[in-house]
Structure 1
Amino acid sequence: MSSSLPPSTETPAAAPAPGPAFSPLYQQIKGLILQSLEAGEWRPGELIPSEMELAARFRVSQGTVRKAIDELAAENLVMRRQGKGTFVATHSAQQVQYRFLKLHPDTGDVQEEGRAQRRIIDCKRVRAPAEIARLLSLRSGDAVMQVRRVLAFVGTPTILEDIWLPGQAFKGLTAEQISAYQGPTYAMFEVEYGVRMVRAEEKIRAVLPDAEQAELLQVSTSTPLLSVERVAYTYNDVPMELRRGLYLTDTHHYRNALN
């Protein structure tokens, strides 16, 4: 990755005139660090260069680098560890591995409840229908991996998920691989395919299941379910997963923290 940078704004003489394309220098540094993350220069869980090293690399002050890293840390893209440095965030880390898991038990917490039991119903390579292709920024008919699975907690089927992933990025994905991986699915995407989901957008509504969905969740077709459609993105807002889940909420609730 090139370390070239637009003219510095750290001194008044070099400051560009404000305009639509103008962004503060720390934001430009943040963008350059993001380019390195996207290119895989530093992998999830790895230590990134110190603020001093990055300041020298980009020819800016250490304070400018610190401000850029502050924003990256606030967005859960990097993690600071006291006395050790700054690391690329990973879904394997305890503090972020449940970041996208919003369904919580009514009693106890996620850690106490333990890992969901996964039953893979289907995992196949298909051509993307127009709607799926649009949400993943693909062309209609492009290859996608389609996964259907049921997640159970303490033996009770609780979530039915349909997942679509770009076929090129997830070539070779198998049901056995998903079932065997002991950690979070997003951590597997990082480790096995080099894809890190950094943010997601969701749409939530109340629905009734059809006959097949009801059978897989072992409920009646009159049971109200929470429908959650999620598009997860990697660096630079590239969509890498479409996930449609049906949640049974008689013993769980959907929890979201608003900042």
Structure 2
Amino acid sequence: MSNSNPAPAFRPLYQQIKTLITQSLISGEWRPGEAIPSETELAARFNVSQGTVRKAINELADENLLIRQQGKGTFVASHTEEKRQFHFLRISPDQGERVYPKGELLSCKRTKADAATARLLEIPAGATLVTITRLMRVGAEPVCWEEIRLPAAIFKGLNAAKINQYGCKLYSMFESAYSVRILQVAEQIKAVAAEPAVATLLGVTPGTPLLRIERVAYTFGDKPVEWRRTMCNTKSFHYMNKIV
């Protein structure tokens, strides 16, 4: 008689160690920017070989959860680090060195989630959101207008004062103030015509072609925590990505 129960899926030992390390990251045992224990210490902790630990750490580094620093050790990746504050920002000037835009907060208010936003953020329709709008400038030139929707239940007490306190650097604020790390994003990109209100903010005429980027950002466990719409004036800029 055949057994109807499926056999348990086999998981290589290094993946099991990777899961245990990830759980420590989620629990906050090692905070962003902090060094994790050495491979030797982790091998002793988990009673496995150093090579098994190294393979787990290599995958976590490939996924940008950890950062190896030659001669210093392995550290928890952080959006507060200068090089990583714009890790998910893909707008770059057509000429010259890459210059990162600075955010200018336009509004921060409480709204209710419509059905589409609720589905993307996996929250009930009508749930309270924190809705942020901001303008991204390079020098004095406005380059992007953004609308960001966040579940208020996750970002308790978020207001304009706190956003300005962090210099309108949202992912750094998520991490430092709410222990929410953005690990990956899914984006849809489309060329659209500028609507009058956005055109005014970006200093272009209505109907000017803009690049619309709609994003859902995820933290640990593939949990969606942000919906964002970005409208970009690409007259002197382009969207740059690297696919590996």
Secondary structure of the equivalent of 1:256?
coil
C-alpha separation between the residues in 2 aligned to 1:154 and 1:209?
22
Contact 2:195–2:207 (CA under 8 A) maintained in structure 1:
no
Contact 1:92–1:183 (CA under 8 A) maintained in structure 2:
no
Cα 1:119/1:183, change in 2 over 3 Å: closer
Structure 2 counterpart of 1:162, one-letter code:
E
Listed one character per residue, the Cα deviations across residues 51-110 of structure 1 (whole Å, up to 9, x for unaligned) are: 122112222111111100000001110011122211100012233222101000112223
Structure 2 residue 34 is the aligned partner of structure 1 residue 46: yes
| Residues 237-248 of structure 1: pairs in structure 2 closer than 5 A | 237-248=222-233
Structure 2 residue 210 is the aligned partner of structure 1 residue 225: yes
Secondary structure of the equivalent of 1:64?
helix
| Residues 169-184 of structure 1: pairs in structure 2 closer than 5 A | 169-182=154-167, 184=169
Q: Which deviates further from its counterpart, 238-247 or 213-222?
A: 213-222
Shift of 1:50: 1.3
Could you say which residue in structure 2 is the equivalent of 1:14? Answer: none
Cα 1:34/1:251, change in 2 over 3 Å: same
Alignment partner of 2:61 out of 73, 89, 100:
73
Structure 2 residue 88 is the aligned partner of structure 1 residue 100: yes
Contact 2:133–2:145 (CA under 8 A) maintained in structure 1:
yes
Q: Which deviates further from its counterpart, 217-226 or 168-177?
A: 168-177
Q: Which deviates further from its counterpart, 242-251 or 22-31?
A: 22-31
C-alpha separation between the residues in 2 aligned to 1:115 and 1:209?
20
Contact 1:102–1:256 (CA under 8 A) maintained in structure 2:
yes
Shift of 1:177: 2.4
Structure 2 counterpart of 1:165, one-letter code:
L
Aligned length: 239
| Residues 60-139 of structure 1: pairs in structure 2 closer than 5 A | 60-110=48-98, 113-116=99-102, 118-139=103-124
C-alpha separation between the residues in 1 aligned to 2:161 and 2:219?
24
Structure 2 counterpart of 1:51, one-letter code:
E
Shift of 1:231: 0.9
Shift of 1:20: 6.3
Could you say which residue in structure 1 is the equivalent of 2:3? Answer: none
C-alpha separation between the residues in 2 aligned to 1:183 and 1:145?
14
Deviating beyond 6 angstroms after TM superposition, the runs of 4 or more aligned structure 1 residues are none
Q: Which deviates further from its counterpart, 62-71 or 152-161?
A: 152-161
Alignment RMSD, CA only?
1.7
Q: Unaligned 5+ residue runs, structure 1?
A: 1-17
C-alpha separation between the residues in 2 aligned to 1:204 and 1:107?
22
Contact 2:144–2:232 (CA under 8 A) maintained in structure 1:
yes
State the percentage of identical aligned residues.
Answer: 51
Contact 1:136–1:242 (CA under 8 A) maintained in structure 2:
yes
